[in-house]
Amino acid sequence: MRMGNRLTLLEMAALGVSLLLAACYTAAAGHFTRHMLLHIGLMTVLAPLLASWMQRSGWRFPGTGMPGFLPLVTLLQLLLFFVWHAPQTLAWMMMSPPLHIVMQGILLLVATAFWAGVVQRAGGNVWGAVVALLLTGKLFCLVALVLVFAPRVLYLSQGPHAHAAIDLADQQLAGLLMITACPMTYILAAIILVARWLRLLGDGALESRV
């Protein structure tokens, strides 16, 4: 398959998630849900589209050719994700809009590096990318399940920011959006990589018989 057609399904998945986010953003009133929509948009829509565009343009994300690049950015992305979603960190973001913008930029940069590492594996040894995608998707979904099934609000429920406390329905909706977007991107991307690898393996087997 030519490079120009390599990531069509991934791009379609990202665009599908973007439509979901746009529809939910217009309907969602809670600020925590809007906050989560922005995160999902950056990590599962804009970042993979940027990585795909760079691959098509022949421009490699700095460092993607280094050994261990994908495991490193996978761990960095997970660390950033969990730190960002800690209650105290979210409280700091509420206090400082400039800090919020800086953190969003860092999140987008790391997520783009992650997807660039995944894209680089699309034509060869895909198993490292598959593991990174499944691990990321699973951990993100676990956080989403906590948000959905927590018996109480986990964020901004006490302290100096109690006036900005979210309600339980807002928190649950944010978790539902996460658990919907993860299979549409990380899991689907892993399936696409494995399916392409099997197809290439089959083509090679057929050519060897001929």
Q: What is the largest CA-CA distance in the chain?
A: 73
> Mean pLDDT over residues 151-159, rounded?
69
pLDDT at 77 over 60: yes
How remote is the C-alpha of 151 from its chain's centroid?
26
Mean pLDDT lowest among 10-14, 105-109, 195-199? 10-14
Q: Tens of pLDDT along 90-140?
A: 777 767 778 878 888 999 999 999 999 998 876 667 888 999 999 999 999
Q: Which residues have a Cβ under 8 Å from the Cβ of 190 and sit 6 or more positions away?
A: 129, 130, 133, 134, 137
Query: Nearest-CA neighbor of 76 among 63, 95, 65?
Result: 63
pTM above 0.85, yes or no: no
State how far the Cα of 208 lies from the Cα of 210, in Å rounded to an integer: 5
Percent composition of the chain: helix, strand, coil (DSSP 3-state, to 5) = 80, 0, 20
Q: Read off the pLDDT of residues 56-73 as tens digits, 9 standing for 90 and up.
A: 888 888 887 788 899 999
